[in-house]
Amino acid sequence: MGFFFMPRGWRGLEPNWEGLKVGLVSTALGFFGFGAGLTAGVVVGYYVFIHFQPSDVKDPKIHPLVEHDTQSLERMLPEIPLWVKYSDYDRIDWLNKIVELMWPYLDKAICRTAKQVAEPVIAENALKYKINSVQFETLTLGSLPPAFHGMKVYITEENELTLEPSLKWAGNPNVITVIKAYGLRLTIQMVDLQIFAAPRITLKPLVPSFPCFAKICMSLTEKPHVDFGLKLLGADLMAIPGLYRFVQETIKNQVANMFLWPRILEVPVLDVSRASKKPVGILHVKIIRAYKLRKLDFFGKSDPYVKLKLSDEKLPSKKTSVKHSNLDPEWNEEFKFVIKDPENQVVELNVYDWEKACNFHVTFVSYHIFHRVGKHERMGMNVIQLNELTPDGPKTLTLNLLKNLESRDVQSDESHGQIVVEVTYKPFTEEDLSKDISENADAVEDSPDYGPSGGGLLVIIVHEAHDLEGKHHTNPYARILFRGEKRKTKHIKSNRDPRWEEEFQFVCEEPPVNDKMQVEVLSKAPIIGIYSKEILGYVTISLADVVNSKRTNNTYHLIDSNNGQIQIELQWKTS
């Protein structure tokens, strides 16, 4: 039997055995109650779910979209495409696919162009604010291309194409700019760019040279929405109170001041006069005489005449009369040419010996000589450089006749003679040229009571026709009758709404204020068929209006046609 001695200070700290027992029992009952309750809840819930499920399940009511109001549609479709909302917007998913495929390449091209444009501007302003340098450390537009949600296309009677796309771009660009100033180096990063804009893009004038338009005119129909984030040393600058709204309004106002319609940004693509090949003046060439021409006829003197041709023109050459048996002929005959490119065009002068269409055969003892008289042999040639002429002033030129143009700078012992010409270049006035690209075809200036004096150039542009009616066939072409001359367009097979877009020119000695021009629309007979060509309608146009107003562009109802119409543009250009 042992004894346990407890120190005096520990007396009164004996364990409470009764409380411990009660705690253990409560814990055991709690675990047991939780397990029993969970099991009972699962069993009861399953029983209720199985045996108390409603038997009369009703199908939901489905209504067509047209029966929903605007608010319901906006809740179901947060962003309805414009081509769904408005009938005048066209769906252009194909354009989005093209942009998506080309975006990696467009990204590099746009960034390269942006650098070239921005670097001179940045360098100029850096000196003003005493900044050492501003450089693009990283410049990329990201992997998300812009999206076009619809496009309007405007068809007018002018020589232009107008597009209004709806552009939305929520991109992920990474633009990091490094600024060095006052011994400091600051890094600014632009992220999370969003642009919503409605630009108006006009391609005009349309020309027959690639890319088929001379300039791009861009404007905005409303203020754009621009949102982006700026980080300076890793901190978000846009989190500064009031800065976000200030930047937003500043950007909107600056962009609106530059591009909001009617302000327009013009980007030239081609030279208008050269690309459109529009007439810019008239060249008067007077063939006066020639000296010391070579004798080419076997039994007598030569029979010279001159052929004149303007380079880059498909029209046949002009000819003087033939001076028989004359090596020093005198003509004094005048010709006119319509000039489209005075910097590069030249007038080719070729002097030929006229021969009758017959052959003869001369036989010698040791050889034969064949001479075909029917072939006109060239006696010499030269050119008139238009870029060396002074406008409006007559100039007399004495040109040496050459065997060919390659021998121009080479001294030849054999002389081909000389030719004397008088040339006068009369360019059209700026007022006449500006009429070609006028933005309002229907605006007609106040006409004077009398027509302008002096000659000029009458330009007829046959654009298109509509609702042509042929009894047997419809292969339409237009024929112009003016002062005894006839010109016609190409014919288009099996088309009641042909589009020709062909231009014709008539040089007039005096304004055609009292003249009328007749335009007929005919149908060309097919190669195999029993019916000949037939007239689909005609119109007679008085030219007094175009002489006074310089330009008209109208749609005429065809006579002898129920619904046929034709659009014709007339221009009068004076030198």
- Residue spans of the domains in the chain: they are 79-271, 281-356+376-405+415-427, 452-574
Can you list the alpha helix ranges (DSSP code H) found in 10-76? 17-51, 70-76
Q: Which is nearest to 566 in space by CA: 520, 534, 524?
A: 520
Identity of the amino acid at 216: I
pLDDT at residue 187, as a whole number: 84
Question: Are the CB atoms for 379 and 419 separated by under 8 Å?
Answer: no
Residue 50 pLDDT: 61
Q: Which residues, given as ranges, of the chain have pLDDT below 50?
A: 1-5, 9-10, 13, 357-373, 409-410, 436-452
Which 3-state string (H, E, C) describes 524-553? CCCCCCCCCCEEEEEEEEECHHHHHHCEEE
Cα separation of 446 and 431, whole Å? 15
Predicted confidence (pLDDT) per residue in 77-103, tens digit: 666 677 777 777 888 888 889 999 999
Q: Are 95 and 147 in contact (CB under 8 A)?
A: no
Instruction: Domain 452-574: state its class.
Output: mainly beta
In this prediction, residue 362 carries a pLDDT of: 39
Q: What is the pLDDT of residue 423?
A: 92
CATH number among 2.60.40.2380, 2.60.40.150, 3.30.70.100, 3.40.50.970, domain 281-356+376-405+415-427: 2.60.40.150
Residue 255 pLDDT: 72
- What is the Cα Rg of the chain in Å? 43
Backbone torsions φ then ψ of 47, nearest 5 degrees: -65, -40
The pLDDT, as a whole number, for residue 537 is 92
Q: What is the pLDDT of residue 529?
A: 64
- The DSSP H or E segment spanning 473 is none
